[in-house]
């Protein structure tokens, strides 16, 4: 089974990570690095995919960044874990829908570890809990190496994520786990970004078929 490296960036501006993703994608295409997962939290920003730009979606009172992933408008900010898979997909997974479905399964497995029941909606990609969208997914591919990824709303502030009408959905469709009452896992541990991250790490091998390990600083010099 192949290895996948996890790169923790902590809190990092979207624009900085956007450029880093492109460089890592190029290196993965050239096999200079192995498959990589970026775990990051962005300062508050709303990213607009090409569809949102074409539809002239208006987002007020938020900083905006026009990006090149699939999907519409997506909020990023504190209390949200963002995961970017820089992965070379092969065989049956050379399918956009197949990769999205696999990432949905991964998020759902992590929620299950925490005792949270979640599900997919056939009409809209992502993962849902109690009628609300908790996980959004938007990707970009080049030579079947993915860039961009998924965001999971854990304990987002105020009503910031709820006020964004993303992907043609009404305000309030997106929310976070804490606002739905999921503040502790089934062992009584607090559900925060770190807990969801740990659950993704725990289920990575089973769902993605790759053994996770962490980058050492020297690994990133290539």
Please confirm, yes or no, whether 167 is among the known catalytic residues: yes
Q: Report the distance separating Cα 169 and Cα 164, nearest Å.
A: 9
Taking the complete model, does pTM exceed 0.75, yes or no?
yes
Question: Closest Cα partner for 111 from 88, 94, 126, 127?
Answer: 127
pLDDT of residue 216: 66
Tell me the pairing of strands 64-66 and 45-48.
parallel
- Spot the catalytic one: 114, 135, 167, 204: 167
In the chain the domains, ranked by start, together with CATH numbers, are 3-213 (3.30.930.10)
Q: At what angle do helices 96-113 and 193-208 cross, to 10 degrees?
A: 130
Per-residue confidence (pLDDT) for residue 57, from 0 to 100: 67
Mean pLDDT, 10 residues at a time, the chain of 222 residues: 93 97 97 97 92 67 89 92 98 95 98 98 92 95 97 96 74 91 96 98 97 73 48
Q: Determine the pLDDT at residue 215.
A: 81
């Amino acid at each position: 089974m192949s290895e996948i490296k996890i790169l923790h960036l902590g809190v990092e501006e979207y624009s900085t990570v956007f450029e880093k993703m492109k460089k890592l994608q190029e290196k993965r295409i050239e096999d200079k690095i192995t498959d990589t997962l970026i775990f990051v939290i962005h300062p508050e920003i709303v990213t607009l995919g090409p569809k949102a730009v074409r539809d002239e979606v208006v987002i007020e009172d938020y900083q905006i960044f026009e990006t090149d992933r699939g999907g519409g408008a997506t909020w990023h900010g504190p209390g949200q874990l963002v995961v970017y898979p820089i992965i070379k997909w092969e065989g049956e997974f050379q399918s956009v829908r197949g990769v999205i479905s696999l990432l949905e399964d991964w998020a759902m497995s992590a929620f299950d570890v925490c005792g949270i029941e979640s599900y997919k909606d056939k009409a809209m990609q992502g993962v849902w809990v109690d009628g609300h969208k908790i996980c959004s997914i938007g990707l970009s591919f080049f030579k079947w190496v993915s860039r961009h990824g998924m965001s999971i709303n854990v304990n987002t502030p105020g009503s910031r994520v709820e006020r964004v009408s993303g992907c043609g959905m009404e305000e309030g469709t997106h929310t976070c786990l804490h606002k739905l009452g999921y503040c502790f896992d089934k062992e009584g541990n607090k559900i925060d970004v770190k807990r969801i991250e740990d659950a993704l790490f725990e289920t990575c091998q089973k769902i993605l078929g790759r053994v996770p390990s962490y980058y050492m600083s020297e690994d990133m010099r290539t």
